Amino acid sequence: MEQNSKKETLRLSIGALGVVYGDIGTSPIYALRECFFGDGHVTPDPANVLGVLSLIVWSLILVISVKYLVFVMRADNHGEGGIIALVALLNPWKAKPGTSRYLLMMLGLFGGALLYGDGTITPAISVLSAVEGLNVATPEFQPYVIPITLVLLIGLFVLQARGTGGIGAVFGPVLIVWFLAIGALGVGGILRHPEVLRAANPWHAVDYFLRHGFAGFAVLGSVFLAVTGGEALYADMGHFGRSPIRYAWFCLVLPALLLNYFGQGALVLGDPQEAHQPFYHLAPSWAIYPLVILAGAATVIASQAVISGTFSLTRQLVQLRQLPPLDIVQTSSDEQGQIYIPFVNWLLMLATLGLVLGFKSSDALSSAYGIAVSATMVITTVLAFFVARRYDWHPMLVGFLAAFLLIFDVSFFASNLVKIADGGWYPIVTAILAFSIMFAWASGRRVLGLKWGQQARPASELAQEIERDPPYRIPGTAVFFSAQGLVSPNVFRHLKRHRVLQHEVLLLTVLTSDQPRVPGTERLQLIGVSPGITRVLVRYGFMQTPNIPVALRLCEKLGLRIDEDNITYYVGRETLIPSHKVSVWWPWRRHLFVFLSRNAMRNTAFYHLPPEDIVELGFQVEI
């Protein structure tokens, strides 16, 4: 049993390499370079090289090893991680606007919105920086860098529809080769200038700030590029578990990264001119082309992981009713996490290609990179503090730990703010747009829910109506969607107009749990209303895609026999009419909600209802 456990941990650790560490694992291609040639760069003299290298080394240790792997990953929602799972641990979904729990929910959702900017920048900067390695071999490749990058990115997004199962099988082994290669390159550089190892002493980082003062603060924006994959460690915890992610980091990823950064630093110590492309100059001339190919594969894998993460984030937000229903395609029958969202995929592709064409180089793109992830890291620390307080950690311990971590998070965020004019505006604008859509949609659904609740009637009244004035009963099952035992007035109008009703009536309520996944054994709950009328509660986790026909097959196991071949779903279809009256919510929000409602995926498709079994009951709502 122990042997099997070790084999499973090893398998998951290899899988974590391909999914979790692709982003942070490809940062050495550009991170140290940007410290000496990017915005806020410093002169590559020996003291600065040791200072900047010490900042990178201790950022990896304190932010990734200590913050995420030791502390934040303790805050799991039934094994799942990520900022939305962290928000769910605070259970704020029923909080009233204006309360502290509601504000925390808004903060967490904005953190999720920030990740959409990262979902487009990461593929652009990663693939572009890898292809730019061709320029190290010969400058004649310069005109072809952008076209090759665009072709690789287009191919990556086109392949998303096929699912990541087949590709994912080779992710881990390729990243193993990558980390071993960059570690070996780093050893070569260290052997030439072993004095670079002095950068392991944190005093060199302190000395850097003592010498440069506030002016040296700007380089933190480039240092932060070395830890930009930190959020992925937490977000992908549910796929692999804590132990495999930790083993992969401490046994391979961290040693390889440190060796490579030390090697690059040694190269710059020996010849400051090498600081322009220290990663590729570590390799001998004969290895440039193989290294570019390997870097291209690694950056495509890193991009794939970010794209998949964006799909997962979107599904969570849709399930939590913070985004309109979208077409979500399950690409694997075995793995729930493998999904494809066409609308999000093509939107990401257009934005990513636009970034490559607009910024034209990874140097320029680095100005847009970092601010979104650094802001998300600040939000993660704040939310983790409140989660720890909720679970009765000692207040002084939690407060000290949060303050300590926020020193680094806020410093990185503040240093990235100077990039706003040079491209940092992009992820901020993207986040504001995404958050505005979430805010308008959630607010609109809340207003509609209040209007619907004012008109709805209890399920007991439906039973009384049927008993008082019995309709003509026909064989089959009628399914009416309801909310918490309330029945839409459309149902009563339908009975009075058509005078026909099936023998079995189900009042169906779909609930989304604050858990990531609800087991099949807990999927259904039946509540009898009267003979022939049953309330059916269907529960899904916020990382699951609902399928109502499949869920209803469980009814028989709970003692309710329904005719699956003779079932009719009665679905409300509202037509929204913008009101000219003074609204308590901002006009832009109302108009955006109406636009989203008219263009959103219909609930009939979202719940996978068979089109031939649907009857729509239309009504108008003034909003």
Structural domains for the chain:
2-423 (1.20.1740), 449-622 (no CATH)
pTM (whole model) above 0.85? no
Residue-by-residue DSSP string for 539-597: EE-TTS---HHHHHGGGGGGT----TTSEEEEEEEEEEE---SPPSS-HHHHHHHHHHH
Q: And the tokens for 452? A: 């619907």
Q: Is the pLDDT of residue 177 over 90?
A: yes
In this structure, are strands 500-512 and 486-487 parallel, antiparallel, or unpaired? unpaired
d(CA 248, CA 257): 12
> Rounded to 10 degrees, what is the CA torsion of 404, 408, 410, 415?
160
d(CA 6, CA 532): 53
Between 579 and 224, whose confidence is greater? 224
Helix (H) or strand (E) holding 614: strand 614-622
Residues in a beta bridge with 614 = 569
Q: What is the mean pLDDT of residues 515-528?
A: 86
Task: Give pLDDT tens digits for 390-401.
Answer: 777 778 888 898
Helix (H) or strand (E) holding 486: strand 486-487
Which pLDDT band holds residue 327 (cuts at 50, 70, 90)? confident
In this structure, are strands 339-340 and 524-530 parallel, antiparallel, or unpaired? unpaired
Task: Give pLDDT tens digits for 434-448.
Answer: 999 998 888 888 887
Question: What residue has token string 């899904």?
Answer: 540
Please give the distance of CA 554 from its chain centroid, rounded to a whole number.
32
The 472-481 sheet, strands edge to edge: 524-530, 533-540, 500-512, 472-481, 567-577, 614-622
Q: Are 76 and 237 in contact (CB under 8 A)?
A: yes
Q: Is the pLDDT of residue 337 over 70?
A: no
Give the pLDDT confidence score for residue 167 in this predicted structure. Answer: 54
8-state DSSP, 519: -
Residues in a beta bridge with 148 = none
Q: Helix, strand or coil for residue 435?
A: helix
Question: What residue has token string 């990185």?
Answer: 412
Q: What is the CA radius of gyration of the chain?
A: 27
Helix axes 100-131, 371-390, angle to 10 degrees: 140
- Whole-number mean pLDDT of the chain? 84
Q: Are 312 and 299 in contact (CB under 8 A)?
A: no
Q: Is the pLDDT of residue 6 over 50?
A: yes
Range with lowest mean pLDDT among 419-433, 473-487, 578-592: 578-592
Reading phi first (left if > 0) and then psi (alpha if -120 to 50, else beta), residue 588 is in alpha
d(CA 148, CA 143): 10
d(CA 295, CA 301): 10
Q: What is the mean pLDDT of residues 466-471?
A: 82
Which pLDDT band holds residue 585 (cuts at 50, 70, 90)? low
Between 156 and 6, whose confidence is greater? 156
In this structure, are strands 614-622 and 567-577 parallel, antiparallel, or unpaired? parallel
Give the pLDDT confidence score for residue 63 in this predicted structure. Answer: 92
Enumerate residues 6+ apart whose C-beta is below 8 A from 238: 76, 79, 80, 81, 82, 85, 337, 516, 543
